[in-house]
Structure 1
Amino acid sequence: MIYHAARLVGLLEAYAIYDPEIGYCQGMSDLLSPIIAVMEEDDAAFWCFVGFMRKARHNFRLDEVGIKRQLKIVSQIIKRKDSHLYRHLQKLQAEDCFFVYRMVVVLFRRELTFEQTVCLWEVMWADQAAIRAGIGRTTWGKIRLHAPPTDDLLLYAIAACVLQRRKLIIEKYSSMDEILRECNSMAGQLDVWRLLDDAHDLVVNLHDKI
Structure 2
Amino acid sequence: MKQSKQNAKYVRTNSNDSFVVVGETNGEVGDRRLSKTYEVVNSKHLMSNEDQQSVIKPDFSPLTKDTLSKYFDIDGRVVQESKLRQSLFHGGCNEEIRRTVWSFIFGLYPMLSTTRERKDLDIENHYKYHALKRRWQSYMGDYNEDNLSDSIDLSTLNMQDYMSADLPTCDVHTVTQDNLHSTFKDMARTYAWKKTMDSAPFSWYRVIEKDLPRTDLDHAYFKDDSNIHLDRMKNILATFGFFHPNVGYVQGMNDILTRFLIVLDSEVDAYWCFAKYMERIENDFDETGMVEKMVLVQKLLKELEPNLYSHMVNCHVEDLIFCHRWLLVSFKREFDYDESIRYFEMVQSQYLELDSPVAVSAQDDQFRLEVMNDKGKLRSTAAHIAETKYTFEVFVCVAIIMLKRQQFLACTEASDVFQVACNIRGTLCLQDVHAKAYNLFFKYCKKSVSEQYYRGNGNIFLNTLTKIFKWK
Work out which of the residue numbers 401, 404, 421 in structure 2 matches 1:162: 401
Superposition TM-score, scaled by structure 2 size: 0.40
Distance 1:152 1:101 in 2: 15
- Larger of the two Rg values belongs to structure: 2
Work out which of the residue numbers 7, 18, 25 in structure 1 matches 2:243: 18
Q: How does 1:56-205 map to 2 (within 5 A)?
A: 56-61=281-286, 64-126=287-349, 128=350, 135=357, 137-140=359-362, 152-171=391-410, 173-205=411-443
Give the direction of change, closer, same or farther, for the CA distance of 1:4–1:101 in structure 2 (3 Å limit).
same
Distance 2:262 2:365 in 1: 36
Deviation at 1:134, TM superposition (A): 5.8
Query: Retained in 2: the 8 A contact 1:99–1:176?
Result: no
Query: Retained in 2: the 8 A contact 1:30–1:110?
Result: no
Query: Retained in 1: the 8 A contact 2:359–2:442?
Result: no
Superposition TM-score, scaled by structure 1 size: 0.85
Give the CA RMSD over aligned residues. 2.7
Deviation at 1:9, TM superposition (A): 1.8
| 2:230 is equivalent to residue 5 of structure 1 | yes
Distance 2:393 2:254 in 1: 19
Cα-to-partner distance string for 1:37-59 (whole Å, 9 max, x where unaligned): 01122111101001111232112
Cα-to-partner distance string for 1:10-53 (whole Å, 9 max, x where unaligned): 21111111211111111111111111001122111101001111
Deviation at 1:129, TM superposition (A): 5.2
Distance 1:13 1:71 in 2: 28
Question: Letter of the aligned partner of 2:394 in structure 1?
Answer: L
Which protein, 1 or 2, shows the higher relative CO under an 8 Å CA cutoff with sep ≥ 6?
A: 1
Q: Which residue does 2:55 correspond to in 1?
A: none
Distance 1:129 1:68 in 2: 25
Q: Which residue does 2:270 correspond to in 1?
A: 45
Question: Letter of the aligned partner of 2:310 in structure 1?
Answer: R
Deviation at 1:185, TM superposition (A): 2.4
Question: Letter of the aligned partner of 1:188 in structure 2?
Answer: G
